[in-house]
Copies of this chain bind each other. A is one copy, B any other.
């Protein structure tokens, strides 16, 4: 059985949980508490040399980096698909995913927020402004693209990789109190996606390692 190393509130782990559920793949989870630094232990570093989650043990390999894991899942389990069939549609969906995966999420994850505080002396207000700025910048572009390509979901009327990236980023935006009112298309797509069983079962709040506190 596949084994997913992750953390309930990690956005990149959340993406992979959604895709595994959507593809109907059975997997077990190994939780690494990022607040305690569990992911920096020697045993885990042998699997993932960055000491970051997620990592997926599958087919005798260790797969790392959620964009690579998601593409691997799409190739290995093409049905049901998370990418359109045509090259042009694939490029639009992957661009939407990359706006979140490259230009929003990496700027706001735990190691960066710690560096802002510890190395640059940023206070919580400055950190919250930093988080909101990159989410709003990226979401503004994504809202415009959804106006062109979107339907019920970010791209057309079925869920794609773009929604797999969107939902965890919306979760993070809500957590940090970012104003989402300028992004009605994104919040509508996220609501539609969250209603699907694959997305609902991947929600951080229902993971075994979730901390209700």
Check A181 for interface membership: any CB of B closer than 8 A: no
B residues less than 8 Å from A106 (CB atoms): 102-103, 106-107
Residues of A137-151 at the interface with B, using a CB-CB cut-off of 8 Å, are: 137-138, 140-141, 144-145
Copies in the complex: 2
Bound Cα distance from A107 to B140, whole angstroms: 20
B residues less than 8 Å from A120 (CB atoms): 116, 120, 122, 126, 130
Check A95 for interface membership: any CB of B closer than 8 A: yes
CB <8 Å contact, A94 and B71? yes
Bound Cα distance from A101 to B106, whole angstroms: 10
Select A68's contact among B50, B94, B144, beta carbons within 8 Å: B94
CB <8 Å contact, A138 and B91? no
Bound Cα distance from A84 to B112, whole angstroms: 33
CB <8 Å contact, A91 and B119? no
Check A82 for interface membership: any CB of B closer than 8 A: no
- Per-position 1/0 for A63-84, Cβ under 8 A of B: 1111111011001100000000
* A107-B112 contact in complex given A50-B141, A130-B119, C-beta closer than 8 Å: yes
Q: Smallest distance from the beta carbon of A101 to chain B beta carbons, Å?
A: 6
Bound Cα distance from A96 to B90, whole angstroms: 21
Q: Can you name 8 extra interface pairs (CB under 8 A) apart from A68-B95, A72-B94, A115-B133?
A: A49-B141, A50-B137, A52-B103, A63-B95, A64-B95, A65-B102, A66-B98, A115-B130
